Structure 1
């Protein structure tokens, strides 16, 4: 499990408080295998990290999307076991994108509060470039499902121009993939009644998102691995 030096380990009580759940819920998820075991420290005290917190947030988002406990278990079992908290945050952001009401208009102060940090003008500009927030009068329309991920990306040493170019690439190819997947699903539900079609769509959406995201992560890891290997001096 990846740990971050700037974030001290959490006790089960601290983890539950940060995640907004009860200790009983944390232990229940652990017994069901939804959370990896903690690191046992001195005095047999379990220590939890950022990955546990991110996994709890993902579980909560899947619940908000109406997925059953069995469905959540299947979803998490199919994830790579070594995902970092950043990887899990990406999964949560993508799952949250299915939610119909994730955009709010907030003030600059409220935007900073939701982000959990002070935001300079250049940082707000980067969030705008990533289409996480949009100026709206005296405030900002913010996609709450993507805000946490966008704030994490603020610390990545990439120029705003590169972010905008990357966004255009992702939009172009994701729309093409979405078009083909929608065509396949339309063929699948064509012979079903409206209720069955809606049910199939609701269950398929998070699974399709997971498949796309996992495939993209693996492909990107391979591409970056090949690039780093070729750039090493012989």
Structure 2
């Protein structure tokens, strides 16, 4: 794994801090082959990039879900070696989607430990606005399945209103899709034995989740591509000439 010369690099201390782990943990994962070695720069200082951070966060998520190091190693071996940070984040989202739907009451110190970072009062207020954290006297009731996602949203440069509106859109469409798919499955197995229905449900659940995630990811990529293409067209000078060597879209120049 190499770092992009144009992207900022991290020292091992900075990488550990960003991921909410210790330097010792980073080195341990490196010795186990779970994390690729850093790029060695001047004065023999190791430099880590976004791919290292994304892979480290994926490892931590799998650890959080109770996977053993051996199971994590098997999973990582199946992934392409050149997988970028975006695709690693998608894998992490899939792993996180199986987090148990549990609410626990924890102290402020435990809340920060699980969040993997220190939380300012404003951070806790934003987590509360997302219905992930609820104050309970001196303690906090935490939706453990959503905590890590919500903490990552704290660093997204969007207003709280936009994030909550996006959550409403996603929740509404997800529930509608789940309802329609459930109706289809109920009709397909209406005449079957209860044990067969349970067995089918157990097999279909992960397949449906993967299908929904893959379909949504591709749809979102297409929407973003059209948005960016439209923005580029609007910014192009009207009546201007194309860049040297550039032909019309889909047509070779020359």
> Shared fold by TM > 0.5?
yes
Unaligned 5+ segments in structure 1 are: 28-36
Residue 182 (structure 1) shift: 1.1
| Pair 1:5-2:15 in alignment | no
Structure 1 residues 191 and 85 mapped into 2: Cα distance closer, same or farther (>3 Å)? same
Aligned to 1:34: none
Residue 41 (structure 1) shift: 5.9
- TM-score when normalising by structure 2: 0.64
CA distance in structure 1 between the aligned counterparts of 2:9 and 2:124, rounded to whole angstroms: 26
Larger Rg: 2
Residue 104 (structure 1) shift: 0.9
Taking only aligned residues, the RMSD between alpha carbons, in angstroms, comes to: 3.7
CA distance in structure 2 between the aligned counterparts of 1:221 and 1:169, rounded to whole angstroms: 17
Give runs of aligned pairs for residues 66-215 of structure 1, distance below 5 A: 82=84, 83-96=86-99, 99-100=100-101, 102-215=102-215
Residue 62 (structure 1) shift: 7.5
CA distance in structure 1 between the aligned counterparts of 2:52 and 2:157, rounded to whole angstroms: 24
Q: Do 1:127 and 1:150's aligned partners in 2 also have CA atoms closer than 8 Å?
A: yes
Q: Do 1:7 and 1:50's aligned partners in 2 also have CA atoms closer than 8 Å?
A: no
SS in 2 for 1:95: coil
Residue 40 (structure 1) shift: 8.0
- TM-score when normalising by structure 1: 0.69
The structure whose RCO (Cα within 8 Å, separation 6+) is larger is: 1
SS in 2 for 1:49: helix
Structure 1 residues 216 and 187 mapped into 2: Cα distance closer, same or farther (>3 Å)? same
CA distance in structure 2 between the aligned counterparts of 1:39 and 1:108, rounded to whole angstroms: 35
1:2-35 residue CA offsets vs partner (Å, 9 max, x unmatched) = 967346479xx9458469xx94xx67xxxxxxxx
Q: Do 1:57 and 1:92's aligned partners in 2 also have CA atoms closer than 8 Å?
A: no
Residue 117 (structure 1) shift: 1.3
CA distance in structure 2 between the aligned counterparts of 1:197 and 1:150, rounded to whole angstroms: 35
Structure 1 residues 123 and 40 mapped into 2: Cα distance closer, same or farther (>3 Å)? closer
Unaligned 5+ segments in structure 2 are: 17-23, 41-47, 237-254
Q: Do 1:129 and 1:163's aligned partners in 2 also have CA atoms closer than 8 Å?
A: no
Aligned to 1:30: none
| Pair 1:53-2:61 in alignment | no
Structure 1 residues 38 and 6 mapped into 2: Cα distance closer, same or farther (>3 Å)? closer
Q: Do 1:50 and 1:85's aligned partners in 2 also have CA atoms closer than 8 Å?
A: no
Residue 107 (structure 1) shift: 2.0
SS in 2 for 1:5: coil
Q: Do 2:96 and 2:145's aligned partners in 1 also have CA atoms closer than 8 Å?
A: yes
